[in-house]
């Protein structure tokens, strides 16, 4: 998939079927829109192009900003997996935000992308003050000579439309199972494995401590069943390791920094320090809490490991003897 960072990188004289959006999370609703653009572009023999923005418009317009579900690199990866030919990443700033709907369509869709068709969701807004909507796009399509395909909101069994907001709400509540259903895949958080306090190793639960700052939405504090995903050296394959994941400040030991720690079930031989890995969240086992004693904590952690193994369909495992851990 080609990625153009700005209009100046778009080749001249192309024709396309285009769509537009932030696509944060690339959830089921986004997938329907993007897949329709790909299908129609192939039928017409032109490029399928997604127009997206970086940073998120909320970063510019709201002082509090927004916590993204995934970074731009992950967005592009998921869009590419749907077969989109190219993505135009437009720098979002006040200058772009000031474009009228007419000027935006002419500059991006007509002059740059040579659109034959634009595929959008029914709630799309564009142009200065979000003045443009689907009706506006139809009017401009008639003027400039392109078709508009409107995708009616794809709804869940609950009757609620798939949305990035719903994903964030689910993650904030720790309901990663719901988030996964909205996304149509496991929620994934990426980060760099760093050295921690090594308390888990001393207790029989060695963990990979993930520096996840700025790389995704960290779910609510708690213990989760999931997978560590690591690249296989020298190949494009990935190794999927069943894990119990802890998110929180470690209240048992008066921790203050919020961390993501993953314990690979039954493994004492892994050395993940310094690696860039991903953690897939499958299901929440329990919320985070402080126990009356370390012994009570250990009993609960033993139960957490068994529950994680059950959820993941992995062999049941127990604690690792500290002297068996090979990672330094």
- Give pLDDT tens digits for 220-272: 999 999 999 997 666 667 899 999 999 988 755 555 678 899 999 988 777 78
Burial class (CB within 10 angstroms; exposed 0-12, middle 13-18, buried 19+) of 297: middle
Look at residue 328 in the predicted model and tell me its pLDDT: 45
Tens digit of each residue's pLDDT (9 = 90 or more) over 19-62: 999 999 999 999 999 999 999 999 999 999 999 999 988 888 88
Catalytic residue among 239, 261, 295, 324: 261
Q: What are the pLDDT digits (tens) for 277-327? A: 999 999 999 999 888 788 888 899 899 999 999 999 999 987 776 655 554
Could you tell me if 320 and 206 are in contact, meaning their C-beta atoms sit under 8 angstroms apart? yes
DSSP three-state, residue 45: coil
Fold annotation for 186-324: Elongation Factor Tu (Ef-tu); domain 3 (2.40.30)
pLDDT at 156: 66
What percentage of residues in the chain have a pLDDT greater than 70?
Answer: 88
Least confident of 122-131, 170-179, 199-208: 199-208
Residue 29: which residues within 8 A CB-CB, separation 6 or more? 121, 151, 153, 154, 161, 162, 163
Question: At the topology level of CATH, where does 2-151 sit?
Answer: Rossmann fold (3.40.50)
CA 178 from chain centre, in angstroms, equals 14
Contact status, residue 314 vs residue 265, Cβ threshold 8 Å:
yes
Q: What's residue 198's pLDDT?
A: 58
Domain ranges, ordered by start, for the chain: 2-151, 186-324
CA gyration radius, the chain: 23
pLDDT at 323: 53
Query: Tell me: the pLDDT tens digits for 85-114?
Result: 999 999 999 999 999 999 999 999 999 999
- pTM > 0.85: yes
Q: Check: CB of residue 217 under 8 Å from CB of residue 67.
A: yes
pLDDT value, residue 226: 97
Q: How far apart are CA 120 and CA 101, in angstroms?
A: 15
CA–CA separation, 247 vs 222, rounded Å? 5
Residue 71 pLDDT > 50:
yes
C-alpha torsion 21→24→29→34, nearest 10: 50
Strand-pair category, 208-211 with 187-194: antiparallel
Record the tokens describing residue 202, joined without a space.
């001393």
C-alpha angle with apex 207: 203 to 187, nearest 5 degrees?
A: 135
User: Tokens 């003897």 label which residue?
Assistant: 321
**pLDDT of 152 strictly over 80:** yes
Mean pLDDT score of the chain: 89
- 203 pLDDT tier (thresholds 50, 70, 90): low
The answer to whether residue 261 is catalytic is: yes
pLDDT of 128 higher than 70 = yes
Beta strands in the chain (DSSP E): 2-4, 16-20, 47-54, 86-91, 115-121, 147-151, 187-194, 208-211, 222-231, 238-248, 259-264, 276-287
Q: Tell me what pLDDT residue 269 has.
A: 79
Token pair 């994941």: residue: 245
């Amino acid at each position: 998939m080609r990625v153009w960072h700005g209009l100046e990188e778009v080749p001249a004289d192309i024709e396309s079927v285009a769509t537009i959006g932030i696509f944060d999370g690339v959830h089921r609703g986004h997938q329907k829109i993007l897949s329709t653009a790909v299908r129609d572009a192939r039928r017409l023999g032109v490029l399928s192009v997604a127009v997206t923005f970086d940073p998120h418009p909320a970063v510019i317009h709201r002082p509090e900003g927004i916590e993204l579900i995934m970074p731009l690199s992950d967005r592009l990866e998921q869009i590419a997996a749907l077969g989109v030919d190219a993505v135009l990443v437009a720098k979002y700033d006040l200058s772009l935000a000031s474009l009228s709907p007419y000027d935006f369509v002419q500059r991006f869709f007509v002059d740059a992308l040579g659109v034959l068709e634009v595929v959008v969701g029914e709630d799309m807004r564009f142009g200065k003050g979000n003045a443009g909507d689907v009706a506006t796009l139809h009017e401009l399509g008639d003027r400039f000579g392109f078709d508009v395909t409107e995708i009616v909101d794809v709804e869940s069994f609950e009757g609620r439309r798939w949305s990035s907001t719903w994903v964030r709400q689910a993650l904030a509540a720790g309901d990663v199972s719901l988030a996964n259903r909205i996304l149509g895949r496991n929620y994934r958080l990426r980060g760099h494995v760093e050295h921690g306090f090594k308390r888990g190793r001393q207790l029989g639960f060695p963990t990979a401590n993930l520096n996840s700052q700025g790389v995704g939405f960290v779910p609510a504090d708690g213990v989760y069943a999931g997978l560590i995903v690591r690249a296989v050296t020298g190949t494009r394959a990935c190794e999927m390791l069943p894990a119990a994941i802890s998110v929180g400040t470690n209240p048992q030991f008066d921790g203050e920094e919020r961390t993501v720690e993953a314990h690979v079930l039954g493994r004492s031989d892994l050395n993940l320090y310094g690696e860039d890995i991903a953690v897939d969240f499958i299901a929440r086992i329990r919320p985070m809490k402080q126990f009356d004693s370390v012994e009570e904590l250990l009993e609960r952690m033993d139960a957490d490991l068994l529950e994680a193994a059950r959820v993941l369909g992995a062999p049941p495992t127990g604690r690792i003897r500290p002297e068996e851990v090979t990672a330094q």
